[in-house]
């Protein structure tokens, strides 16, 4: 990205040709994003509820999964951006990456529940003014609602890497032996399925679920904001896979019905004759004036 900015500056100054021939860019990461399985999503939400210090990460996770918002957009939310009457929130240009990111997102029941919990928490430290941040900064135990939270990286990393001991079921960080003094089971082979999950992957997962629900590209872009053509192409494949799975399930359900084409070519019974009215413009034989005549013909 930095070299891309330098290249554009030099091209505008008409100096890129002096160095461009010998420039060899590094390979860009082509990973679009990661979508969770249903089990991983439920597990992540359940584990996030287990520790109070993960509250911010948990509530931000719920908003990302139910609104497609980026982390920077969630951190930049003010209370003036929330409209609980119409169940919607506004993502302003100052908090998003592009002009297309400025949008209004409807809120479903999960998102409303998370915002209500955030509001009740904000009431405890008088942080519910219109210009206060929903996720306020907190340093040395002091909450400042006039500044946004900078990161929840530490909590997110611990949340996604947390494992359950298969012997005693205690939640803990990865290690060699269980932290439970009474257990001490070998947990070296136990790994979290969400280890390495980026917070931004929650946005990808939400858009994937939108695509699997057969939402059109226009609806996806209206809710998610800027979506690159590469990502739209990826979600088109997601939609096709969802359709294919639905049709495969239909085929498996009908496989026992023994329906074939034996009767498809049988002659259909002849339809009963119905009288039709045919309008004829012209002159009757033997008449002196033209006229419009209706003749009933049984077909």
The answer to whether 78 touches 134, Cβ cutoff 8 Å, is yes
Q: Is the pLDDT of residue 256 over 80?
A: no
The answer to whether 136 touches 145, Cβ cutoff 8 Å, is yes
Q: Is the pLDDT of residue 232 over 90?
A: no
**What is the distance between the alpha carbons of residues 217 and 208, in angstroms, rounded to a whole number?**
12
Report pLDDT digits (tens) over 58-104.
999 999 999 999 999 999 999 999 999 999 999 998 888 777 789 99
Domains along the chain?
38-152+199-244 (1.10.443.10)
Q: What is the pLDDT of residue 259?
A: 52
Q: Long-range CB contacts (< 8 A, 24+ apart) of 33-40?
A: 33/200, 33/201, 33/203, 33/204, 33/205, 33/231, 34/197, 34/198, 34/201, 34/204, 34/205, 35/201, 35/204, 35/205, 35/208, 35/209, 36/194, 36/197, 36/201, 36/205, 37/193, 39/193, 40/193, 40/194
**What is the distance between the alpha carbons of residues 125 and 10, in angstroms, rounded to a whole number?**
50
Report pLDDT digits (tens) over 111-169.
999 999 999 999 999 999 999 999 999 988 899 999 999 999 999 999 999 999 999 99
Name the β-bridge partners of 88.
Answer: 83, 106
**What is the distance between the alpha carbons of residues 26 and 7, in angstroms, rounded to a whole number?**
14
The confidence band for 296, taking pLDDT boundaries of 50, 70 and 90, is very low
**What is the distance between the alpha carbons of residues 100 and 80, in angstroms, rounded to a whole number?**
20
Torsion sign, CA atoms 243, 246, 250, 255: positive
Averaged pLDDT, 247-267: 64
The answer to whether 103 touches 223, Cβ cutoff 8 Å, is yes
Q: Is the pLDDT of residue 260 over 60?
A: no
Cα distances from 30 to residues 17, 144, 230, in angstroms, run: 27, 39, 10
Phi and psi for 167 in degrees, rounded to 5?
-90, -50
Cα distances from 237 to residues 55, 129, 196, 231, 295, in angstroms, run: 35, 44, 25, 10, 59
**What is the distance between the alpha carbons of residues 174 and 189, in angstroms, rounded to a whole number?**
9
Q: Is the pLDDT of residue 202 over 90?
A: yes
Q: What is the pLDDT of residue 267?
A: 53
DSSP 96: S
Report pLDDT digits (tens) over 267-283.
545 544 444 443 444 44
Greater pLDDT, 226 or 89: 89
**What is the distance between the alpha carbons of residues 68 and 198, in angstroms, rounded to a whole number?**
14
β 82-83/163-164 pair status: unpaired
How big, in percent rounded to 5, are the helix, strand and coil portions of the chain? 45, 15, 40
């Amino acid at each position: 990205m930095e070299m891309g900015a330098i290249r554009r500056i030099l091209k505008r100054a008409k100096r890129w040709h002096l160095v461009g021939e010998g420039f060899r860019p590094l390979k860009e990461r082509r990973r679009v994003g990661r979508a969770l399985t249903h089990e991983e999503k439920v597990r992540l939400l359940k584990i996030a509820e287990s520790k109070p210090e993960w509250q911010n990460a948990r509530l931000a996770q719920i908003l990302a999964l139910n609104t497609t918002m980026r982390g920077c957009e969630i951190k930049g939310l003010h209370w003036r951006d929330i409209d609980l009457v119409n169940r919607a929130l506004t993502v302003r240009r100052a908090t998003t990456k592009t002009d297309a990111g400025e949008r209004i997102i409807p809120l479903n029941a999960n998102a409303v529940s998370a915002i209500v919990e955030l509001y009740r928490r904000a009431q405890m430290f008088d942080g519910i003014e219109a210009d206060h941040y929903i996720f306020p900064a907190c340093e040395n135990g002091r909450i400042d609602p006039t500044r946004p939270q900078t990161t929840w990286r530490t909590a997110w990393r611990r949340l996604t890497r947390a494992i359950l001991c298969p012997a005693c079921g205690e939640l803990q960080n990865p290690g060699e032996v269980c932290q439970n003094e009474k257990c001490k089971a070998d947990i070296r082979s136990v790994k979290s399925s969400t280890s390495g999950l980026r917070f931004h992957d929650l946005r990808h997962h939400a858009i994937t679920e939108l695509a699997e629900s057969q939402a059109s590209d226009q609806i996806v872009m209206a809710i998610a904001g800027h979506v690159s053509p590469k990502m739209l192409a990826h979600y088109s494949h997601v939609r096709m896979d969802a359709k294919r799975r639905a049709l495969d399930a239909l085929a498996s359900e009908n496989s026992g019905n023994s329906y074939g084409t034996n009767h498809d070519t049988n002659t259909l019974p002849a339809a009963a004759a119905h009288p039709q009215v045919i309008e004829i413009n012209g002159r009757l034989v033997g008449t002196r004036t033209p006229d419009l005549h209706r003749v009933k013909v049984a077909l």
